[in-house]
Structure 1
Amino acid sequence: MTNARLQTPDSYGSGSYLASDVTVLLDIIDKQKVADVPVSQKEALIQSGQRHYSDMLTIEQAPTTMHERLYQQALEQGTTRTATDIAHLAYTLHQTFQKTVDNEQPLVLVSLVRAGLPIGVLLQRALADTNTSYSLPSVHYGVSIIRDRGLDSVALQMVLNAHPNSPIVFVDGWTGKGAIYQELARSLDVFSDRHHPNFANIFHQGEDVIPLLTLADPAGVAWLSASSEDWLIPSGLLNSTVSGLISRSLYSTPQAGLHRSVFYDNLVEVDHSLAFIDRIDAVRQTLTVPLQSLPRFKHPRYQTADLIHQIASDYDIVNRNRIKPTIAEATRAILRRDPERILLATADHPDTVLLRHLCSERDINISILGDKILPYQAITLIKQRS
């Protein structure tokens, strides 16, 4: 890492989170300097191959009143489950690393920006809680990963330089098709030689084991996850306003430095990032359920690969990036992309209320397919652009 503009990790910010929650390794740029590309134009540029999605941004607007209300409903019904899942994940990390980490060599959580950020912050708070049986020395960073372009190698090297003897666990919110897992695996391949000086930082669970942790893992690719269900994770319903007011990341070549992002200071009044963390963390502290050591998997199972293949065949989809499975991804795709159709397992599942409302609002076709798309509750198909 020779870029003179880069500093030590502790000189970077934390978005709208507390400095003790996370250090976000992104080059924050002024949103006035970013072209605001309308969704329909962005979709045409992406599908034609003229531009990569990480070269453009549609500037995020404040959620509507209906969107806010549905987020609050999701938070009401999902708070205890999220808190319980975080406790089980923290307990499992404690069981795994208690003999190998300490204050000098803490466990390093690297959240994948953006969906991993809220989950990573919740885990960092849980591991820092000395009133539990699962406290563990840990530090937490947010690092960009971009489909087709990989994990920000400059940011990862900064983490490795700062913590040369610590194991790293990568954190994401959920898995959809497993595409980000594959991107992460490709990015980490350079460390897979046992003679690489950072082999043990990455492959501490064994050769070829990518240490990816998620809250939900329908795709069956994570090393550690609280469940394999597609459920309404509250943080999956919002974008920057539950992710530290940070935009989706924009690509920079390693020679140019860190991946870039916009900080949405205009959305401060509608930001839920800290309130979400505080609420889940407070409930976690009151839990009385027995702690569970969750299963850890050496290799991905790709349990939905055949289903994705079948969906692509049924709807004549060549580019599988047009298929956005899970409630969270399906919802985000409606808000950020140009959808053609929504596939639902059931017509009235409480976890898809926002999806159905958005479809009604924008006159998007819904197909009810029953068990055919399980374990996913929802899949958005992006419109084909010639």
Structure 2
Amino acid sequence: MTTMAPTAPLHGSYQPADCRFLLTPIEGQFLSVEEKERRIQSGEAHYSEMIHREPAPSADYLTLFETLCERYAPRLASEVRQLAVQLLLDYGRSDEPLVLISLVRAGTPVGALLRRALVDHEGQAAEHYSVSIIRDRGIDHAALDYLLDEVGVAARRIVFVDAWTAKGVITGELKRDINRYNANRKTRHKSTIPAKLAVVSDIGGTADYAATYEDYAIPSGILNATVSGLVSRSVLNDQVPAGAFHGCVVYAELAEHDQSQAFIERVAAHLGEFTTPDEMAIAENERLRQQTLMGEMLKQIRKDYAVDDINHIKPGIAEATRVMLRRVPALLMVRDTQHPDVEHLMLLAAEKSVPVAVRPEMPFHACALIKAMTHEVAHD
């Protein structure tokens, strides 16, 4: 593997001010979803080493995306404003910009919108970078080094941004790895990076800042590259030179289907419609309640379906959507098949012949199980 210094940011299909990806473009070496799943589950390869080619969303699916945008763009704008206020209450207003580091890819549109809210409606300078974090591999240290050493951002003004939490796996990965990163750099830098995460929907109850604890269909959560700047999820394999940012594939062939910048503009148009309170209490009791509800439900699902690997349970609308689009699903569970927020999931389940179970007791609207490739998942 060759060694390479990090290169300049790329913008994907976003306006440069809205998003700077700290990623290294690589050529796509695509596998089928089934082959990728087999290699992950056999231990042959880590999920971050492989990628499949993303298809264009169908016309029916885009119609559902449009419906969700109509329904939830104002709500999402309000929640992004709430996050902006929470951050300013904690970090303080300053001439120094807030540095938003969104987690590729789900966090990317939220980071772009949060920057708009801070700059255009709160009078606070802010910069937005989107950086890779990978389960079991941590956050991209080359990207953090670039921001601190090359760009010269203030470490104490950094906050991490994602769209949602689920089981809290990425929250834990982020906090552990940032603590390790700070410890390794403490001899060179007086200021450490706060291991703080801001999300729109904190159904796992693990974020530091959240606008809601409710599971709902955030519109950007039902699409992949076509709402994330035409950028793939991050890749970390032999194609990525040592010392470079984590890799990505740019899906230029999906440009005609791209919704990325249009989605930002659509939600941003509502950011000025809300008067945010001067003070916002963080509902610690509610957060702890969410953690308890999530933990108990995961335990029950694991027991009911004899799931060996907790990573095969993906709770929440957005995580279930990821399974239906990017993995090999065994089962879709929904609280109510008629709820409009799961309509896209029901469409995907029908297209892929995935069985659907109704679980009205779930504290979230949907949950998907990844199919165990070595044996069939048991069903009650």
| Shared fold, TM over 0.5 | yes
- In structure 2, the partner of 1:117 is 108
The 3-state SS of whatever aligns with 1:255 is coil
Deviation at 1:288, TM superposition (A): 4.8
- In structure 1, the partner of 2:301 is 311
CA distance in 2 between partners of 1:237 and 1:78 (Å)? 13
Contact 1:160/1:198 (8 A) holds in 2: no
**1:219 counterpart (180, 204, 215):** 204
- In structure 1, the partner of 2:371 is 383
Deviation at 1:157, TM superposition (A): 1.4
Identity among equivalent positions (%) equals 39
CA distance in 1 between partners of 2:33 and 2:366 (Å)? 21
- In structure 1, the partner of 2:167 is 177
CA distance in 2 between partners of 1:126 and 1:296 (Å)? 22
- In structure 2, the partner of 1:97 is 91
2:145 pairs with 1:148: no
The 3-state SS of whatever aligns with 2:242 is helix
- In structure 1, the partner of 2:320 is 330
Deviation at 1:307, TM superposition (A): 1.8
- Structure 1 residues 23-61: Cα deviation after superposition (integer angstroms, max 9, x where no partner): 11000123xxx2211111111111111111111111111
- Structure 1 residues 123-178: Cα deviation after superposition (integer angstroms, max 9, x where no partner): 0111111xx3x221211110001111111111111112223534210000101111
2:271 pairs with 1:284: yes
CA distance in 2 between partners of 1:42 and 1:90 (Å)? 38
RMSD over equivalenced CA pairs, Å: 2.3
CA distance in 2 between partners of 1:199 and 1:323 (Å)? 41
**2:38 counterpart (31, 44, 64):** 44
**2:338 counterpart (326, 348, 356):** 348
Q: Which amino acid aligns with 1:352?
A: V
Deviation at 1:87, TM superposition (A): 1.0
- Structure 1 residues 302-339: Cα deviation after superposition (integer angstroms, max 9, x where no partner): 33122212211221111111111110110121111110
Residue-pair matches, total: 365
The 3-state SS of whatever aligns with 2:236 is coil
Q: Judging changes above 3 Å, is the alpha-carbon distance between structure 1 residues 318 and 360 closer, same or farther for their aligned structure 2 residues?
A: same
- In structure 2, the partner of 1:206 is none
The 3-state SS of whatever aligns with 1:92 is helix
Contact 2:4/2:242 (8 A) holds in 1: no
* Unaligned residue ranges in structure 1 (runs of 5+): 204-209
2:252 pairs with 1:265: yes
Deviation at 1:296, TM superposition (A): 7.1
Q: Which amino acid aligns with 1:27?
A: T
Deviation at 1:224, TM superposition (A): 0.1
| Equivalent runs, 1:184-223 vs 2, <5 Å | 184-191=174-181, 193=183, 197-198=188-189, 200-203=191-194, 210-223=195-208
The 3-state SS of whatever aligns with 2:198 is strand
